[in-house]
Amino acid sequence: MSNQEQPHSGSDQFIDRQRRQWDQDAGGWHKWTDTLDSWFGGVTQTMFKMIDIGPGDHVLDVGTGAGEPALSAARIVGSDGHVLATDLSANMLEYVRQRAAAQGLSNVDTLETDSYLDGVDAGSVDVVTGRFVLMYVPESTRALTAWRQALKPGGRAVAAIFTGPANNPWASVPVSIIRQHADLPPPPPGQSGVLALSSDRDLWDRFELAGFQDVCEEITQAPLRMASAEEYVQYAREAFGGFNQLMAHLPQSQQESIWVNIAGAMQRFETESGIEIPCEVRVMAGTAP
C-alpha cells in the first residue's frame, strides 16, 4: 500500500450509499444473528484475548451491526463497565437496543456515527473494537486515528478483517460469479469492500500510521458451516446486501440464474454433515501511547 492515505474524494457519498445499504440489510442481519454468532464467536474471543478486556472496562464498538462484539463485551465488563455500540445504520442500532434489552444488559448505549467517531469524547474509553468494519471504510487510517484518540493512554484497539480472496471463498466465489455474469470489471485497487485491506501489511501499516504502538496480529480460521449450499444462498441473499447491490441493475430472471450458479459452485464445499466454506480472519491490535 502507499504509506500516504489521500483524502478520499467521494468519501461522503460512499458512506451515504453504505448507510442506505446497511439500513436495508439490517433485518436480514438480525434474522441470522444465531448463524453469525456461531460463525464468528471464536473471532470475538481472539479479539478479547488480544486486548485483555476485563470487568470495569469502558468499551467503544465501531460498526457494531446487530451488536457484536458489543453485547459479548457488555457481559464481561459488567455493571462497573460500559459499552457504547456505534454504527452508521440507525436500523442496525434499533436491533442492538432490542437485543440488549432482551439479554438484560443495562450497561449498553448506542450512538449513530461513522467510523471517524464524531460525537465521541477524546480519551474516554479503555478499549475500541471493530469486527468486520474497517474494510468498508474509505479512509481507514483516518478512522484508526479517531479510534486512538478516543482511547485513554495505554488503551487498546482491536480490529478484525478478512484475509485475501483465496482463503475466503465464502465471499470471493459468489463475487466472481456475479462479476462474470454481470460483465463487471474487477474493482479498482484500494476500493472499499468485503475483502479490501487484505494484503499482508495493509492493516498493520495503517495501525502504525495512526499512531498505535505494540501492534500485533493473529490469523484465525472461521469456517462457515451450514446445512446445505441452498441454505448458504438464502443467508447470502438476505444478509449480504453487497452481493445484491452488485447485480441490482440486472433483470430479476438473470439474478435468479446467478444465485442458482452460486449454489452450484458452493456444492464443492459439501461435507458429510452439510457444507463447510473456508473463511480466514486477520485480527490486529495496538496500544494508544
Ligand X SMILES: C[S@@+](CC[C@H](N)C(=O)[O-])C[C@H]1O[C@@H](n2cnc3c(N)ncnc32)[C@H](O)[C@@H]1O
- Distance CA(282)–CA(72), nearest Å, equals 19
Instruction: Closer to ligand X by CB, 57 or 68: give it.
Output: 68
Site string for ligand X, 74-103 (x = CB under 6 A): -------------xxx--x-----------
Give the residue, chosen from 50, 73, 137, 288, that forms a contact with ligand X under the rule CB under 6 A: 137
Q: Which grid coordinates are listed for 163?
A: 484475509
114 touches ligand X by CB under 6 A: yes
Options 49-57, 131-139, 182-190, 206-214: segment touching ligand X (CB under 6 A): 131-139
Closest CA to 264 of 164, 166, 181, 184: 181
Look up cell 465471499; give the residue. 171
Give the residue, chosen from 39, 48, 95, 132, that forms a contact with ligand X under the rule CB under 6 A: 132
Instruction: Closer to ligand X by CB, 98 or 254: give it.
Output: 98
- Chain centroid offset of residue 9 CA: 23
- Cis before 69? omega within 30: yes
Interactions with ligand X, residue window 181-220 (CB under 6 A):
none
57 touches ligand X by CB under 6 A: no
Annotate 1-62 with three-state secondary structure.
CCCCCCCCCCHHHHHHHHHHHHHHHHHHHHHCHHHHHHHHHHHHHHHHHHHCCCCCCEEEEE
Options 129-137, 220-228, 263-271, 276-284: segment touching ligand X (CB under 6 A): 129-137
Q: If binding means CB under 6 A, how many residues of this protein chain bind ligand X?
A: 20
Taking every pair of Cα atoms in the chain, the longest distance, rounded to a whole number of angstroms, is 56
Options 97-105, 126-134, 224-232, 245-253: segment touching ligand X (CB under 6 A): 126-134
48 touches ligand X by CB under 6 A: no
The number of beta carbons lying within 10 Å of the beta carbon of residue 29 is 21
Interactions with ligand X, residue window 1-40 (CB under 6 A):
15, 18, 22, 36, 40
- Distance CA(219)–CA(222), nearest Å, equals 10
| Residue showing the smallest CB distance to ligand X in the complex | 65
> Could you list the residues that contact ligand X (CB under 6 A)?
15, 18, 22, 36, 40, 63-65, 68, 87-89, 92, 114-115, 131-133, 136-137
